[in-house]
Structure 1
Amino acid sequence: MTPTPSHARRPHLLLVGAGNAHLHLIRHRHRFGGAEVTLVDPGGFWYPGLAGGMLGGRLSAAEDRLDPAPLALRHDVTPIRGRLASLDPEARVARLEDGRELDFSLLSLNLGSAVRMPAPATPGPRVWAVKPFPQLLALRHSLEKAFSRGLEPRLVVVGGGPSGVEIACQLRELARRCHARAEILLVTRGEQLLEGAPAGAIRWLMRHLSRQDIGVRFGMDVAGHARDGVTFTTASNAWGEDSLQLLAADHVVHAAGLAPPAVVEHLGLPLIPGRGLAVEETLQSPGNPDIFAVGDCAALMNQVLPRLILHDLQQATVLIDNLAARLSGGTPRRYVPQQLAVTILDLGSKGLAIRGRRWWGGRLALACKRRLDGRVLQRLRTR
C-alpha cells in the first residue's frame, strides 16, 4: 500500500466497532508492526453467546459484558468511546456522532446489526428488540418487577430463527426463577422453526417447547402494534380492509428482521439492499481496497452466508491476514465461509446442538455451550 502523504511516517489502522472480529484482531495487534491502531468502541461489548443466560436470570449483566478498553490498552491499541456517524472514503476521514473526525490509512468496520420492527403504539404493549443487547437486560428488569407484583404477563416473541427460539425459552426460564407464571407465544411468518435445520432437530425442539408450555404459531406476518397487542396478517387473509388481525400481548419481543445498522446508509460505500455493506471475497469494499467490513454489517457479493453458523472468528482470521498484507504490500487471501460448524442453542434447561444434518439435544449440549462461551469470554478478559 502506498500511504497518502499525511500518513507517510506511520500508517493508521482504524477499527470501528467492538464486535467479535475486532476483539479477536486486537489480540493479534503484533501483525501490524509499527502501524498506529485505534479502536472506536460504541459502548462496550456484550458477548452474544451469553445474552440468553443473562435474560433468563442465570447470569448478571457484568458476566456477559466486557469493556474493550483494557484489552485494547494491553495490546497497544488506542481506545476511543464513540459512534460512527458518517464517512468520507476519498478523504479517508471517519466522523463520529459527537463531531470528532478520525483520519485513517486502513479502515475496518465491525458495526453489528439491529432489529427493524414496527413502531410501538401508545398506548400499547411494551416493545423490545433482541438487539442491542442492553434491551434484553431492560426487558428482564421489567418482567422481574411485574412478577414481583404477582402479574402474569402475556409475552409474544416474533421470529422463528435461533434468536427467537432462545428468547422464548429464556423468558420461560426467567419466570421459573421468579416462581411466576407467564403466557409465552412464539410466532413466525415461516412454516417451521430454524429454517435449514435437520427435521429431527425441529421435531425435538417442538416437543421441548410444548413441555415448556411455550406456544408456537406459524404463517403469521406481524404488521404493527395496537392498543392491546400486535397486528398480523396470514397468507390466507393478506388483503383488504379486514386483513389485519389482533394478537393480545403485554410485551412483544422482536427477534426477526435483523439488518445492518442505519449508519451504513451514510458511509458512501457500496451496499447490498437489506443485507449490508458489499464486500468482495477478501472482505474489502469494492472500489475501496483500504476499507474492510466484517460481521453482521457486511454482505458478501457472491453468496449469502448460512444462517445457523457464526462466521465472526473465521472472518477475523482472514481480516487480520489481509490488513497485514495491505500494510506490507502482500497478496490478500479469500474468505471461504464454513459450510459445516457446530451451533448450540441455549434453551434454558437444555441445549440443542446442530452441525449440518447432525444434531443432539439435552443437558450435555447445554453444558458444552456454556463451557465454550465461558472460555471465549475469559480469554478476551485476560489476554
Structure 2
Amino acid sequence: MTSLAPHDAPPRSSTAPLLLVGAGHAHLHLIHQRERLPMPRVMLLDPGGFWYSGMAGGVLGGQHCPAADRIDPMALARRHGVEGLRGRLAEFDPARREARLDDGRRLAVSAVSFNLGSTVNTPPAHAEGPGVWPVKPIPRLVSLRHRLARDFTAGSCPRLLVVGGGASGVEAACQLRALADRYGVDPTIRLLTRSSELLPGAPPGAVRWLRRRLARRRITVETGLELVAHLPGGIMATPAGQPAGEDNARFVAAEHVVHAVGLAPPPVIERLGLTTIPGRGLAVTDSLQSPAAPWAFAAGDCAAIIDHPLPRLGVYGVRQAPVLRDNLIAWWRGEALRPYRPQPRALSILDLGRGQALAIRGGAWWGGRLARYWKRRLDERFLAGYR
C-alpha cells in the first residue's frame, strides 16, 4: 500500500481536468464509471477510436466487418459526462502538469492516466520489396484485408508471409487462409518464427493440435528463423541469435509480410518526461502509479509494472481497470492506494477461422468449435458493455 505526502495532494482549487490519454480497455471502464470519480472534470484525449484486439483476427479473415470491431469512445464519453477532445499527444511536461498535442494545443491537468496500447516495431520497408503490414494498429489489418480482397477478386494469388509464432501470428496466418477461401484462391502462406516452437510456453498437446490444423490448411511453419531485412521480392532471414552473413542468410519470397512480433510501447512514451523501462513502457508501481509523479497513472500495454513483467494481452488491461479507478479515487481523496495483483494464469483464446479456436489457460487447453463459441460470447459481452 502507498500513501501521499502533503505536497502530492491534488490541486482541489484547480479547474484542470483528470486527463485520460488513449481509449484502451482500462479507460473505457473509467468512462463507464464516471459517476464514481470525484474529480469535477474528466477529459478523454482520443486520437480516433477504439479497436478491439480480440476480434481483429476475425476482421482480417472476413468473419466480421470492420465496424463490428470498433467502438466510438467519444459517444461513450458524451453519455457518461466525460469531456471528449479529439487529438494526439505529442509530449508531456510533468513540471507544469501540461500536455501538448501534435497540433500545438496545450492543456493543463490535475492528474493524468495513460492507456495507449502498443505498437509493432518492423524493419524498414524496401521500395521494391513486399508490402509490410504490422498487426497493430488494427486499421493496418483492415487495409490489408481490402488490399487482398482486390487482389483475390482480380485472380491474383500473392505469396503471404507471417512473422511471429505467438498468438497474434498464428491467428493472422489462419485468418489469411480463411480470407483466401472466401474468394476461392489458394495463395502460399508461410509462418516464420525465431522460436523453436509455436506458442512458446503453451501446453505441448495444444501445440501438436495446432500443428495438425495448420498443416491441413496448407500453412507452412518454419521455426528458428529471424527476419533481418526486407528485400526486393521478399525478405532475408537468418537462424535466430546468429549474426547475418552470406553462409546463413536465406531468402524467402513474399509479396506481403505480416509482422506479429516485436510488440512495443508507442514512441510517445519517451516524450512524457516520466520514468520508463526500456522496451517495456511507462514505469509504474503495483498501484499503477508513476514513481516519478504520484498524479500520473498508466495501465495496459503501455504500462510496465516494476519488477513484474506481463505479457501484452488485453485481459490484463481489463483486470487493471477497477484498480486504476479505485486508485485514482484514493489519490484524489488522499487515501491509501491498493495494489494490482495479476492473475497467475490468463485465458487466451486464438480465433483460427472456419469456426475453430484454441483456448489456453495455464496447463489446460481445448480446441474446436466450443472454444470458438466461448470466444464469441466473451467478445460480444465485452463490446456490448460499451455500446
Same fold, TM-score > 0.5, yes or no: yes
Q: Using the alignment, how far apart are the partners of 2:82 and 2:76 within structure 1?
A: 8
CA deviations 1:255-283 (Å, max 9, x no partner) are: 00000011111111111111111111111
Aligned mate of 1:274, from 267, 271, 279: 279
Residue 198 of structure 1 corresponds to 203
1:28 matched to which residue of 2?
33
Counterpart mapping for 1:256-267 below 5 A: 256-267=261-272
Aligned-pair distance for 1:199? 0.9
**1:330-361 CA distance string (max 9 Å, x none):** 11000111112321110002000111100000
Greater shift in the superposed pair: 126-135 or 227-236: 227-236
Give the TM-score of the pair, scaled to structure 2. 0.95
Q: Which residue does the alignment assign to 2:70?
A: 65
Report 1:181-220 matches (<5 A): 181-220=186-225
Structure 1 residue 240 displacement after superposition: 3.5
The aligned counterpart of 1:15 is: 20
Query: Which residue of structure 1 aligns with residue 379 of structure 2?
Result: 373
Q: Does 1:98 align with 2:113?
A: no
> Partners in 2 of 1:3 and 1:21 — Cα distance?
22
Amino acid at match of 1:328: R
Residue 307 of structure 1 and its aligned partner are, at CA, apart by: 5.6
Distance in 1 of aligned mates of 2:317 and 2:358: 21
Are residues 1:108 and 2:100 paired? no
Query: Is the counterpart of residue 3 in structure 1 residue 35 in structure 2?
Result: no
Kindly indicate whether the alpha-carbon contact (under 8 Å) linking 1:3 and 1:11 is maintained by their aligned counterparts in 2: no
Q: Equivalent residue for 2:335?
A: 330
Q: Does 1:54 align with 2:54?
A: no
Following superposition, the deviation at residue 195 of structure 1 comes to 1.1
Does the CA contact (< 8 Å) of 1:110 and 1:294 recur in 2?
Answer: yes
Aligned 8 A contact 2:132 2:257 in 1: yes
Give TM-score scaled by structure 1 length: 0.96
| Residue 375 of structure 2 corresponds to residue 356 of structure 1 | no
Tell me the CA shift for residue 68 of structure 1.
Answer: 0.7
Deviations, residues 7-26 of structure 1 (Å, cap 9, x unaligned): 51546210000111100111
Q: What is the 5 A alignment of 1:215-234?
A: 215-234=220-239
Q: Deviations over 1:133-152 (max 9, x none)?
A: 00000000110011011111
Q: Taking structure 1 as reference, are residues 34 and 269 closer, same or farther at Cα in structure 2, changes over 3 Å only?
A: closer
| Range that drifts further, 276-285 or 298-307 | 298-307
Change (3 A) 1:340 1:139: same
Deviations 1:228-272 (A, max 9, x none): 101111159645344432100010000000000111111111111
User: What is the alpha-carbon distance in structure 1 between the residues aligned to residue 16 and residue 344 of structure 2?
Assistant: 36
Taking the aligned partners of 1:235 and 1:280, their CA distance within structure 2 comes to: 34
Cα distance in structure 2, aligned partners of 1:309 and 1:140: 23
1:223–1:233 CA contact under 8 A, matched in 2: yes
In structure 2, distance between residues paired with 1:236 and 1:327: 48
Residue of structure 2 aligned with 1:123, choices 128, 146, 151: 128
2:151 pairs with 1:146? yes
Contact 1:281 1:334 in 2 (8 A): yes
- Separation in structure 2 between the aligned mates of residue 335 and residue 84 of structure 1, nearest angstrom: 26
Shift of 1:308: 6.4
Q: Which of residues 308, 313, 316 in structure 2 aligns to 1:311? A: 316
1:83 aligns with 2:116: no
CA RMSD of aligned residues (A): 1.4
Give yes or no for contact 2:51–2:71 (8 Å, CA) kept in 1: yes
2:4 matched to which residue of 1? none
Structure-2 change in CA distance of 1:62 and 1:204 (3 Å) = same
- 8 Å CA contact 1:124–1:227 kept in 2: the answer is yes
> What is the identity, as a one-letter code, of the residue corresponding to 1:216?
V
Aligned to 1:380, what secondary structure does the other structure show? Answer: coil
Q: Is the 8 A contact 1:16 1:108 kept in 2?
A: yes
Aligned length: 379
